[in-house]
């Protein structure tokens, strides 16, 4: 392999490594979204007391943190994602006890099923289980294929790969898979955000006290880490094209040469 291709492959290795790190950081941290809920009394308060009846919520894929001021000072609580796969819904719960978490989730589901006043999952702080778990699966697969891409990029730099999935064609394949799965994770989470999280993050008891997070929620750092990883894999594909790496296998050419030489192998 000439030095020109090795330079490009080194850049691809660094970008792939950075992309995988970004996805791992996004996966593990609790800043996919941030919300600033307010209580309806806030609009009537003077500037001196405007910090009352406000809050901050940061959420990841598995955990989060919230701080709400009910008028007596800020109260901070950790949050956990609790799900019922059978019903297809999840909720952010501020109790660490598994038993209490399940009771809170079951109560919210029962309210949704039996109450005529509750029209949407969002009204009780519930969100779609399918979109949530699909985001996690796609992101996990993106990380796996990104790590595979790292390994084969190193092999192409220092080894002598044949023209199969271990060689040039494989670099397109592994980076393409990592790109597609990480992009799917982003799109699925955007769908979850639009349908549920953007509308409401709060449990019913906070809503009844007057708090609202509707239209006060945005994407945060962890989400943009994954978006950055998608960009990294996309740039890798471009670099592979620019470097002259071929995106096909040469088995057909090899077969033609054998026939021309009068040799057929079984």
Domain boundaries, the chain: 3-256
Structure-token match 């009068």, residue found: 262
Tell me: pLDDT of 207 over 50. yes
Tell me: pLDDT of 194 over 90. yes
User: What backbone torsions phi and psi does residue 23 show, to the nearest 5 degrees?
Assistant: -70, -40
Tell me: pLDDT of 159 over 50. yes
Range 3-31 average pLDDT:
93
**Structure confidence at residue 249 (pLDDT):** 46
Among the residue ranges 22-26, 68-72, 75-79, 102-106, the one predicted with the least confidence is 68-72
CA 170, distance to chain mean position in Å, is 25
Angle of the 3-28 helix axis to the 129-158 helix axis, nearest 10: 150
Among the residue ranges 6-15, 32-41, 199-208, 226-235, the one predicted with the least confidence is 199-208
- Per-residue confidence band for 111, with pLDDT thresholds at 50, 70 and 90: confident
Helix (H) or strand (E) holding 57: strand 55-59
Range 45-63 average pLDDT:
77
**Structure confidence at residue 170 (pLDDT):** 86
How far is 123 from 125, CA to CA, in rounded Å?
6
- Per-residue confidence band for 94, with pLDDT thresholds at 50, 70 and 90: confident
């Amino acid at each position: 392999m000439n030095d020109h291709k090795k330079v490009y492959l080194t850049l691809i290795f660094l970008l792939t490594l950075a992309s995988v790190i970004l996805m791992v950081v996004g996966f593990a941290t609790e800043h996919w979204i941030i919300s600033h809920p307010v209580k309806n009394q806030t609009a009537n308060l003077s500037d001196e007391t405007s910090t009352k009846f406000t809050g901050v919520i940061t959420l990841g894929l598995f955990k989060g943190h919230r701080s709400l001021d009910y008028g007596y000072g800020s109260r901070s609580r950790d949050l956990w994602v609790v799900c019922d796969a059978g019903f297809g819904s999840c909720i952010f719960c501020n109790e660490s006890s598994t038993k209490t978490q399940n009771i809170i989730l079951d109560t919210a589901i029962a309210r949704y099923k039996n109450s005529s006043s509750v029209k949407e999952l969002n009204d009780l702080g519930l969100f779609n289980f399918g979109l949530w778990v699909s985001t996690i699966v796609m992101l996990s697969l993106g990380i796996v294929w990104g790590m595979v891409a790292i390994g084969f990029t190193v092999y192409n730099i220092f080894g002598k790969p044949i023209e199969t999935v271990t060689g040039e064609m494989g670099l397109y394949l592994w980076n393409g898979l990592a790109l597609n799965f990480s992009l799917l994770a982003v799109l699925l989470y955007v769908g979850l955000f639009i349908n549920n999280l953007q509308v409401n993050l709060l449990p019913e008891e906070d809503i009844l006290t007057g708090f609202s997070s509707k239209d006060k929620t945005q994407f945060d750092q962890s989400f943009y880490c994954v978006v950055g990883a998608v960009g990294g894999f996309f740039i890798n594909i471009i670099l592979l094209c620019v470097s002259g790496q071929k995106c096909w296998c040469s088995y057909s050419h090899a077969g033609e040469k054998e026939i021309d030489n009068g040799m057929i192998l079984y």
